[in-house]
Structure 1
């Protein structure tokens, strides 16, 4: 029997350990993914069916081609297993019928070992080649042929589906294929003419009467006191041009600018599978040339044009994107910024490099043992198919799905990658805001309120916790948020 003072000491120790770890969140395990034949079937039936979701950082076509090549190995393995089963039945008509199960199991083991051996040889050859020199495969089945045709006709990410994620506080809008949503920021200003500036001696310039609301639609003021006409597409085109210009020449030790900027057409994921070919063509025109172009989709309730700025680094394992929407109506301009980040690849995929590097008798011994386990697993699945579990954890099994998102890590645990992701998002956000600022100045728009809001966003957007805002109170518009505080104005900036 334990003494009372010992029990009391143990209870205090447990409470102290509990209090010490109260602030530490439990580490979430990485999401479960598929490998082997289940992966091939899932990619063919979910990722490359209908209209595939664009993939960023890695090409989708080589993936489908290698899945088709893996499907060839699957049919070869099934052929060897069929021969092994026939050999087992043949033993029943010999003088040793008791050997029939052993012959069949040995044939099954040989089929799995041959499958692993050929797959390993292809993996070694693939890791030594580039994507451009990869083996071109042709699908055996109708589904695999359709999958190959679907990804070959896929254009570079100009049409993206979006989904609405309902959560506590406010909904979050996620562009499928772009990764996790980091935070969302909105800027809204009344488009009014610029106020007169002070001269160098401190005296104001010529007085220009402030327009009334009804005067916004009746341009009776002088040309210098009016806002120059512009459309959201004019603003989007200007920002894209400014982002593509890049910066001043940098020293040799600086990396090249990897920033991409282009227009995209965003459409709800619920409409994704119902897009007809004519509408698909019109969405491409909408993304590249805007709603006023000939043949563009002009239904704003179905699809709208967004600006996409993207940086791909770490050999494709890190993709940072910023989607910006411009809305201008009734002399009110609204700019909505939604950054996304694709986390690095799943650790299971990184293990493929080590598997390709292994060779010799040690690899064959592991393959022999693994082939025996494959036979046991095959017999287990005969009694428990488990078809409902043959999908990655991050696949909701409804609507379009992104292969790159489903096979990413749950969080970014590398400090260098995390710092790069924050730097890319902040850099793109700042350049976008500066380009909009320059556009508004050129069109004689009062930018006092705009600069106040961008200053608050840039100062507070760094409060991020592994891909999401660390606290809801730090988001714009939240109760008690510091983003609602108007910073002090200096230098005549309102």
Structure 2
């Protein structure tokens, strides 16, 4: 990756921008600033303000995970599988076995996933978290398409029911009456209770017989009308079921067409919904702010993690050392005492010696920015062309600003528009860029929002995303270099909806009418339940209990839709941690490689600036050996600070994931 692309500059009008002069590093675009202490800098004790930061790469717009998430929006219930489960329940009851569950779409596919995505991402009153390993535009586009298809399907279903009710009013009324009689007399047990009470003694029996005779005398004059209504109800039921099945068949075929548009053979699927300008504008805004580099953090299960980077957050670890100068061997006596040491560095100086003494015996002053710049440059080389080994897949190095989740809902959600442009041309400038740059010039303690250097590896077509966040704090003659590894696990099985082709696609098309009949039966069951609930609500309303039992829960659910807390769509549909053996191995290896390179770079940087690195190497070695990859015979393959690999035997004291 060229160094000319990971730099982003503060706008020229900013008061923190440095005027480019001949010989100044900023005069060459894309080159990091070299802080050379001058007279002015030494006089006021300040350093040159940094005006650039490392940008993220463009998120993968059409990788496998993005297509799977978009396809999950169009998933439908397997009605044939549900019928098999119902038959299986009957067999379980006959044979006395444990009753099996009936399969259904969970919250990670179909309409529930669409509703969650629109409420918490597209139409939320908070900024969407950065997308790691996938792109939001394609997923949101198909979420809008699925939501619009659901509304159109509802309109056609209501139109079919209304048309049949107009053509067969008596049959529709007879179906409603028979539904209510079936529920209250048979299902609710009212008829059985009445007969049991009627045969309990002579007086109740006489009352039941009198009531039946009275009802018969009332209905006998209307028998021709009732007979016609019963006959018309058959035609009403047949036509309603047939037309509803046709609507569901078209709906399922449309969903299959959407899935086919997400196939790997489509190089550039549409990322904007058609005939939906408001949704398209909102998706464009999400596409801009998903590349912004602010990341919220929260504490879950006693571990702090960055939202969006993965549920599998490893414990924060890193060396913490005192900055002491390394004394060069300059006489024969020192050579004699240091003959057994393999390096040219000697032991740390005594306490009476001044570590900030003369140049050549003390420490050359440096800033945390310089240290992180060096780490970024070295880690970036892992993504280039390597002669000895394969390069890290899709390795990206960028800087990010970690903010608490309580502040996340206060951040600006919509990007501003460019001057002179009315409808198009959103300004993609990151609002917190200046804050992150200024954060590097402040003391490392005393403020919530802090800058991190993030090294990210996207592997397995986006199924595994490893991100190691690093932070350097220089305070009180102490360096604390902390790393926070995160692993984003693969999608859950119900959220993986792949496009069908060939015989599999033909089979799905042929079975679509059968599934449509199942959808019609499910709709009839839901309509029956809704009719009964509506009648109960009316009765309870007359008794004064409907507000408490019906209206209040609905209002509570409406208020709890968007709490303002940051959420990640990829995390919502992902496993807590990888389950496949090789995916676990690859994730742990990527973490070990990134941490080893970071620690070795920091060690070399400190060595070049005259800092004693013995304590740093020892602590870094202890950190790296905690992140291991289990192999055969309980052997552990770990990286070292020097970049090589060693093998050791796993002990009880070793802790996985830090």
TM superposition score category, shorter chain reference: 0.7 to 0.9
Instruction: Specify the alignment match of 2:349 in structure 1.
Output: 210
Distance across 1 between alignment mates of 2:529 and 2:580: 38
Pick aligned residue for 1:223 from 355, 359, 380: 359
Greater CA drift, 245-254 or 315-324: 245-254
| Alpha-carbon displacement from aligned partner over 1:274-328 (angstroms, at most 9, x marks no partner) | 11379994423445x46358xx999962411001011001111111111111111
Distance across 2 between alignment mates of 1:42 and 1:408: 15
How many residues are aligned here?
Answer: 426
Pick aligned residue for 1:120 from 236, 245, 256: 256
Corresponding residue SS for 1:185: coil
Instruction: Specify the alignment match of 1:196 in structure 2.
Output: 328
Instruction: Specify the alignment match of 1:52 in structure 2.
Output: 128
Pick aligned residue for 2:453 from 307, 312, 318: 307
Distance across 1 between alignment mates of 2:156 and 2:404: 46
Instruction: Specify the alignment match of 2:142 in structure 1.
Output: 66
The 1:265–1:367 alpha-carbon spacing in structure 2 relative to 1, beyond 3 Å, is: same
Distance across 1 between alignment mates of 2:112 and 2:443: 38
Distance across 2 between alignment mates of 1:140 and 1:425: 43
Mapped pair 1:401 → 2:567: yes
Greater CA drift, 347-356 or 150-159: 347-356
Instruction: Specify the alignment match of 1:39 in structure 2.
Output: 113
Does the Cα contact within 8 Å between 1:65 and 1:138 map onto a contact in 2? Answer: no
Instruction: Specify the alignment match of 1:83 in structure 2.
Output: 159
The 1:370–1:249 alpha-carbon spacing in structure 2 relative to 1, beyond 3 Å, is: same
Alignment gaps of 5+ in structure 2: 1-104, 171-227, 339-343, 417-428, 535-549, 632-650
Distance across 2 between alignment mates of 1:207 and 1:350: 58
Does the Cα contact within 8 Å between 1:161 and 1:175 map onto a contact in 2? Answer: yes
Instruction: Specify the alignment match of 1:164 in structure 2.
Output: 299
Does the Cα contact within 8 Å between 2:119 and 2:562 map onto a contact in 1? Answer: no
The 1:409–1:51 alpha-carbon spacing in structure 2 relative to 1, beyond 3 Å, is: same
Does the Cα contact within 8 Å between 1:84 and 1:103 map onto a contact in 2? Answer: no
Does the Cα contact within 8 Å between 2:372 and 2:453 map onto a contact in 1? Answer: yes
TM superposition shift of 1:448? 1.1
Q: What are the within-5 Å matches in structure 2 for residues 6-45 of structure 1?
A: 33-45=107-119
Does the Cα contact within 8 Å between 1:105 and 1:375 map onto a contact in 2? Answer: no
Instruction: Specify the alignment match of 2:221 in structure 1.
Output: none
Q: What are the within-5 Å matches in structure 2 for residues 357-376 of structure 1?
A: 357-360=504-507, 362-376=510-524
Does the Cα contact within 8 Å between 1:196 and 1:208 map onto a contact in 2? Answer: no
Distance across 2 between alignment mates of 1:261 and 1:230: 22
Instruction: Specify the alignment match of 1:335 in structure 2.
Output: 481
Distance across 2 between alignment mates of 1:206 and 1:184: 30
Distance across 1 between alignment mates of 2:347 and 2:586: 47
Mapped pair 1:134 → 2:280: no
| Alpha-carbon displacement from aligned partner over 1:80-130 (angstroms, at most 9, x marks no partner) | 112112213203447765244554454443333221111111111221444
Corresponding residue SS for 2:261: helix
The 1:387–1:35 alpha-carbon spacing in structure 2 relative to 1, beyond 3 Å, is: farther
Mapped pair 1:262 → 2:398: yes
Does the Cα contact within 8 Å between 2:454 and 2:469 map onto a contact in 1? Answer: yes
Distance across 2 between alignment mates of 1:338 and 1:457: 12
| Alpha-carbon displacement from aligned partner over 1:434-485 (angstroms, at most 9, x marks no partner) | 11111111111111110110111122222789xxxxxxxxxxxxxx99579x
Instruction: Specify the alignment match of 2:245 in structure 1.
Output: 109
TM superposition shift of 1:268? 0.8
Instruction: Specify the alignment match of 1:419 in structure 2.
Output: 585
Distance across 1 between alignment mates of 2:260 and 2:566: 32
Corresponding residue SS for 2:328: coil
The 1:121–1:191 alpha-carbon spacing in structure 2 relative to 1, beyond 3 Å, is: same
Distance across 2 between alignment mates of 1:62 and 1:72: 15
Distance across 2 between alignment mates of 1:226 and 1:264: 33
Q: What are the within-5 Å matches in structure 2 for residues 278-357 of structure 1?
A: 281-287=430-436, 289=437, 291=439, 301-353=447-499, 357=504
Distance across 2 between alignment mates of 1:206 and 1:69: 66
TM superposition shift of 1:47? 2.4
The TM-score, its normalising length taken from structure 2, stands at 0.57
Alignment gaps of 5+ in structure 1: 1-30, 466-479, 485-494
Greater CA drift, 446-455 or 275-284: 275-284
Corresponding residue SS for 1:267: strand
The 1:378–1:154 alpha-carbon spacing in structure 2 relative to 1, beyond 3 Å, is: farther
TM superposition shift of 1:347? 0.9
The TM-score, its normalising length taken from structure 1, stands at 0.74
The 1:481–1:196 alpha-carbon spacing in structure 2 relative to 1, beyond 3 Å, is: farther
The 1:110–1:244 alpha-carbon spacing in structure 2 relative to 1, beyond 3 Å, is: same
Corresponding residue SS for 1:429: helix
Kindly report the root-mean-square deviation, in angstroms, between the aligned alpha carbons of the 2 structures: 4.1
Does the Cα contact within 8 Å between 1:87 and 1:104 map onto a contact in 2? Answer: no
Instruction: Specify the alignment match of 1:18 in structure 2.
Output: none
Distance across 2 between alignment mates of 1:298 and 1:146: 39
TM superposition shift of 1:234? 1.7
Instruction: Specify the alignment match of 1:19 in structure 2.
Output: none
Instruction: Specify the alignment match of 1:16 in structure 2.
Output: none
Corresponding residue SS for 1:352: coil
Instruction: Specify the alignment match of 2:307 in structure 1.
Output: 176
